Amino acid sequence: MEQTPLAYGLTRDEADVLEKIPALHFVKRRFPGYVRSIEKSQLFARRFARDHILPRALEVEQQAAKDPEYVDWEYVNEGMRQGFWTMFLPKSVGGGGRKAMDAYVICEEMCAADVALTALLVFNFFGFATAACAFNPGVMLREMEDIKAAERKGKPLFYAWAITEPSAGSDVEDPDALARARMSIHAKKVPGGYRVNGRKCFITMGSLAHRIVFNAPTDPDHPLETSATFYVTSDREGFSVGRVEKKCGHKAKPTAELIFEDVFIPEEDCWMKEGTGIEHTLEILSITRGLVGALGVGIGRGALERTIQYAYEKKVRGHRLIEEDWVQMAIADMLQILNAARQAYAGVGLAMDAIGLFGLFQKPAVRAALRMLPGWLARTGRLQQALSGDWIHELFKRLKANAVPGEVVSYFLNVGSAAKVNGTDAGMEVASRCLDIVGLEGAARRYGIEKCFRDIKVSQIYEGTNQLNRKEVFKEELARQFDISII
C-alpha cells in the first residue's frame, strides 16, 4: 500500500499543544513565556521523533528481539548531541531548565513514535529526580556536575532506579504492602557503611546503568520500618548484572536483573536513613506516575495515527476505509478517550510546576543560591563532600519539607496515580480498537500498530501496576480521610 503521510500528529510542522490542552490558553495570559517553552518542547520532541525515532524504530526493535542487550548507540549519541541528558537540570546550573509540563509533552510526542527509544534518552531524568527528592546539596551538586561533564564529553551517563525484586514487585511501592512484603534484598550495618546482598529485577536500563539508586531494608523482617535508600556505582565490587530480559514490548531499551553480593555501600551513599526509604520512593513516584500517564497517551496516539494513515490509504469497495461511518465513529471515540487522558496528565504537570518539586527549583532563593556557585567550585570534590554532611542534609530536608510538605507529595501520589491509570488504560483501549479496524493486514509488523499494542500492555504494569495505582487513589482520596482500612 502506497504511503503518503498526512500532515497530522507527528508529521505536522506546527505546535498544537494549545489545541490539545485548552487550559494552557488561560495559563498563557498570565505566563506567556511558560507556554512558549512548552510549545518549543513539543516541536523539539516532534522533530526529533520524526527524524531520529520513526525511521529506525521497527529495525531497532527487530535487532533487540534477537539480542536483548542491543543498543542503538548512534541514536544515543544523537540524543547526547541534542541535550537530552541536561535538559531537565536547572538553568541556573547550566541545564536546559525544562519543567514538568515540558517533560510530559516531550514524553507524549516521542512515545507516539516509540516508547523504548524515548526511554533510552528521557528516563535518565531519574538520575536528577532521585537526587533532588533526597535533597542532599552535596549529592545534587555532584550528580548535576557529572551529568553535564558526561554530555560535554559525549559519553552517556546512564542511571537506573531499581525497585522491583524477585519476591516483591509493586509491594515495595506501597507502605501497607511493604510492611508485609518478603524482601529478597537487605543491607547490614557495618563499620563505615553497609553490606548489601540480594537482587533486583526488571530494572529499566539496568544493564547500561553506571549509577543505581535502590531501596533495601536493614531488617528483612521489618522492611517498612527499616527501608533505606542507597546509591551505588556499577563498578563497585560485588555488583553485577544478571539476566537481560527478552520482553513482549519496550524491546529497544534493555531491562535487567541486578545482583548484589556483599556490596559495600559507604555511609555517605546512604541517601535516606533506615525507616525513611519509603518516603523517598513515594516522592519519586509522585513525580514519575504522571509522566507514565503521558507515555500511555503517546503510545495510544501512535497506534491511532498509524491507523488513520492506514485507513486513509486503504481502499475497500471502491472507497477509502476512512470514509466508512463505523471507522469515523471509532476514530472519534479514540480521539476523545486520548484527549480525556491527556487532560489528566496535563493537570498534574501544571500543578507540579506550581507547587511540586519542579516549582521548588524556580523559587528565587534556590535559583540565586545555584547561580552564586561558580562552576569550577561546584566541581570541587571537597565542597561536594562538605555539603553532604548530615547536619546540612537535615537542614535542607527541613527547608524542602516546608516548600513541598508531605501533604503535597500525597496529593501528587493521588493525581499522578490517577493520570498513570488514565493514560495507560486509554492507550490500551485505543491500541486494541485500532487492531479491530485494520484487521489482519494492518496488524502486520511493518505498520507498527501491533507494536503499540505490545508496548502499552507493558506500560500498564510498570511504575506500579494499575491495580496498585487504583489503590493509591482510593487511599489518598478516601481511606485516610475516613479511617478506612486497606486490607
Q: Which long-range contacts (CB under 8 A, 24 or more apart) does 186-190 make?
A: 186/216, 186/217, 186/218, 186/219, 186/220, 187/216, 187/217, 187/218, 187/228, 187/230, 187/265, 188/218, 189/218, 190/264
Listed range (187-191, 368-372, 478-482) with the worst mean pLDDT: 368-372
Residues 248 and 291 in one domain: no
- Rg of the chain over Cα atoms, rounded to whole angstroms, equals 22
Instruction: Say yes or no: 15 and 143 in one domain.
Output: yes
Helix (H) or strand (E) holding 198: strand 193-204
Q: Which of 275, 308, 329 is the last residue of a domain?
A: 275
Residues 149 and 178 in one domain: no
Lowest mean pLDDT among 15-24, 48-57, 402-411: 402-411
Q: Is residue 338 part of a domain?
A: yes
Residue type, 269: D
Query: Beta 211-217 vs 159-162: how paired, if at all?
Result: parallel
Scanning the structure block, which residue is given the C-alpha cell 529497544? 252
Q: Is the pTM of this model over 0.75?
A: yes
Q: pLDDT tens, 161-213?
A: 999 999 887 788 888 889 888 899 999 999 999 999 999 999 999 999 999 99
- Looking at residue 389, what DSSP letter applies? S
CATH code of 207's domain: 2.40.110.10
What is the reported pLDDT for 484?
87
**pLDDT tens, position by position, 345-369:** 999 999 999 999 888 777 776 666 6
Q: What is the mean pLDDT of the chain?
A: 91
Does residue 3 lie in a domain region?
A: no
Residue pair 181/168 in contact by the 8 Å Cβ criterion: yes
Residue 379: predicted pLDDT: 56
193 occurs within a structural domain: yes
- Identify the bridge partners of residue 227 per DSSP, sorted by sequence position: 217
Q: Do 366 and 396 form a contact (C-beta atoms < 8 A)?
A: no
Do residue 335 and residue 368 come from a single domain? yes
The structural domain count of the chain equals: 2
Instruction: For residue 264, give its domain range.
Output: 159-275
Amino acid at 437: I
Shared domain check, 82 and 48: yes
Looking at 248, 275, 302, the residue that finishes a domain is 275
Average pLDDT over residues 290-302: 97
